[in-house]
Amino acid sequence: MTLGIDVSKSSLDCCLKGVNPNGILVTKATKKFKNDENGFRSMNEWLKGKSKGGKAILCVMEATGTYHEEVLYYLYEHKYDCVLVLPNKIFHYAKSLNKKAKTDKIDAELIADYGAKNASELSLWFPVTKNIKRIKEFSRSIEDVNAQLVENKNYLHALRIAHDTNPKIIKLYENLIEKLEKMKQELERSLDKEIETDPEMKRMTEEPAKIKGLTVRSVARVLAEVNCFLSTTSIRKAISYAGLDIVVKQSGANSFTSSISKRGNKHLRNILFMSALSSSIYDERNKNLRQRLLDRGHKPIECIVSVMRKLLSIIFVLTKYNRKYIPDYNWHKANNTTI
Q: What is the pLDDT of residues 57-112, one digit of tens each?
A: 999 999 877 889 899 999 999 999 999 888 878 888 888 888 877 888 999 999 99
- Chain-wide mean pLDDT for the chain? 88
Which CATH number goes with the domain that contains 166? 1.20.120
State the first-to-last Cα distance of the chain, in angstroms, to the nearest integer.
46
Kindly state whether residue 339 falls inside one of the protein's structural domains.
no
Mean pLDDT on 251-278: 79
- Do 95 and 139 lie in a common domain? no
Looking at residue 53, its pLDDT comes to 61
**Domain end (from 197, 228, 253):** 197
Residue 267, SS3 per DSSP: helix
Kindly state whether residue 207 falls inside one of the protein's structural domains.
no
Kindly state whether residue 229 falls inside one of the protein's structural domains.
yes
Give pLDDT tens digits for 145-164: 999 999 999 999 999 999 99
**Residue 52 pLDDT exceeds 80:** no
**Residue 225 pLDDT exceeds 70:** yes
Kindly state whether residue 107 falls inside one of the protein's structural domains.
yes
H or E element that contains 273: helix 266-282
Across-strand partners of 2? 17, 58
Please state the domain count of the chain: 3
- Do 6 and 101 lie in a common domain? yes
- Do 105 and 186 lie in a common domain? no
- Do 149 and 259 lie in a common domain? no
Phi, psi for residue 262 in degrees, rounded to 5? 60, 15
Supply the range of the domain harboring residue 279. 216-334
Residue 38 pLDDT level (bands cut at 50, 70, 90)? very high
Q: Which of 172, 193, 165, 206 is nearest to 318 (CA)?
A: 206
- Do 235 and 154 lie in a common domain? no
- Do 290 and 310 lie in a common domain? yes
- Do 137 and 116 lie in a common domain? no
What is the rounded CA–CA span in Å between residue 203 and residue 199? 6
- Do 247 and 159 lie in a common domain? no
Looking at residue 259, its pLDDT comes to 73
Question: Is the Cβ–Cβ distance between 32 and 46 less than 8 Å?
Answer: no
- Do 192 and 280 lie in a common domain? no
Residue 102, SS3 per DSSP: coil
- Do 53 and 26 lie in a common domain? yes
Kindly state whether residue 141 falls inside one of the protein's structural domains.
yes
Q: How buried is 24 (Cβ within 10 angstroms: 0-12 exposed, 13-18 middle, 19+ buried)?
A: exposed
Kindly state whether residue 208 falls inside one of the protein's structural domains.
no
**DSSP labels, 307-331:** HHHHHHHHHHHHHHTTPPP-TT--H
**Domain end (from 121, 148, 170):** 121
- Do 117 and 6 lie in a common domain? yes
Which CATH number goes with the domain that contains 16? 3.30.420.10
- Do 168 and 234 lie in a common domain? no
Looking at residue 339, its pLDDT comes to 43
**Domain end (from 169, 197, 225):** 197
